[in-house]
Amino acid sequence: MKSSGTHVVVHPGMLYYGNTVVLLSTTNPDGSTNIAPMSSSWALGDTIVLGMGLGSRTAENLAARGQAVLSLPGPELFAQVERLGDMTGVDHARSQHGHGSMRVRDKFSAVGLTPEPCDLVSCEGVRECRLQIEVKVVHCEEDVGHGFLLVQAHVLRVHADPAIVVAGTSHIDPTAWKPLIYNFRHYHTLAPQIGESAITETPTAAR
């Protein structure tokens, strides 16, 4: 127990303490693409870990067909992301995280986004997203509370808008790329840079 009086014990409804938003594309049983917004993901080398509710179309597609595209939206797409949160690709629609669940077959058209074919997976990415990552699933399991699916996926290919790539390299320019961030159920993006790591491969002073 803390001896200091500078903190209080709180019980947040959801610990989304500043995660990058992802529009996750998966392949439906009929071969069409389902897209769903999520913010429970992190990357370690060429492995990306994803977390989502069991029973969702996304979870069913990942477990059954083992492929996906992570399209990372910028802040200009927050309205489309929020509208997608009210949609589901399954017949057994249910309210999740305070959202209603409207049964929608073509989510791209419903929110004004454009499907874009990928190279190594059958599902489509989102053209309006400046960074897209094709992955294959290597492991799925339920979390300890049996409410979520935890997925480990291997990165197959990364697609980037040339405008966010450091010229002559494969490095994403962090001064040009601003992701949409979900912070305790509010949408944000990155503030101006305040510094950089000593191990960065894209030092600002060199440009």
Phi and psi dihedrals of 40, rounded to 5?
-100, 85
DSSP codes, 29-46: TTS-EEEEEE--EEEETT
pLDDT digits (tens, 9 = 90+) for 57-103: 899 999 999 999 999 999 999 999 999 988 876 665 555 555 557 77
Residues (pLDDT < 50) of the chain are 1
Which ranges constitute the DSSP H helices of the chain?
57-65, 78-84, 107-111
* pLDDT at position 193: 87
pTM beyond 0.85: yes
| Residue 161 DSSP code | -
Locate 19 and state its tokens: 């995660």
